[in-house]
Amino acid sequence: MAWLVARGQTGQWGSEPFSARPAQAERTRDWAGAGGLWFAVAPGGADAGALVLGGAHDYVPPPERPELYVQVLLTAAAFRGRGVGARLIDHAVAEAEAQGAEQLRVDCWAGVPELPAAYEQLGFTRTGAFDVNGWPGAILARPLQPS
């Protein structure tokens, strides 16, 4: 969160840490308990990133084919630009294909062009857009080869 604030991107998730907001803290506990939370851990044990997989959020259209949804993808600021997000997406693809999904979908804040573009570099294509109370988002999908 501090990295986003330092970049002036408070429109994405605000300026207050999730841990200081009861609703967001509960949401984080739900992610941890739902079985789709994965961590990228660097040599030496440092947390490099996190991924939450599950069903689509209620503010995006339902899927037209079987999918797994990337609910959250985070890279620790110290590990940005080192391929952590790409490795977590590779893990998401493997999980989705093992489950027989035909696509991996994700949404992201569209307040800066770099964020949707980063997903496009990982093989996703924009399939839609949405606005939740002034929060602009992009929906992206990546076709898969289910096992």
- The pLDDT tens digits of the residues spanning 95-142 come to 999 999 999 999 998 988 888 999 999 999 999 999 999 989 999 999
| Mean pLDDT, range 8-12, rounded to an integer | 59
Task: Give the residue from 136, 139, 138 showing the smallest Cα distance to 9.
Answer: 136
Task: Give the residue from 20, 94, 96 showing the smallest Cα distance to 63.
Answer: 96
Does the pLDDT at position 19 exceed 70?
no
CA triple 31-16-44, angle to 5 deg: 60
For the chain, where do the domains classified as CATH 3.40.630.30 start and end? 34-143
| Mean pLDDT, range 50-76, rounded to an integer | 93
| Mean pLDDT, range 21-35, rounded to an integer | 75
pLDDT of 15 reads: 61
Q: Pick 69 or 77 by higher pLDDT.
A: 69
Rounded to whole angstroms, how far apart are CA atoms 118 and 102?
A: 21
| Mean pLDDT, range 66-78, rounded to an integer | 92
Top-level class of domain 34-143: alpha beta
35's torsion region: left (phi>0), alpha (psi -120 to 50) or beta?
Answer: left
Rounded to whole angstroms, how far apart are CA atoms 41 and 52?
A: 15
pLDDT tier at 33, thresholds 50, 70, 90? confident
pLDDT tier at 5, thresholds 50, 70, 90? very low
pTM here is: 0.84
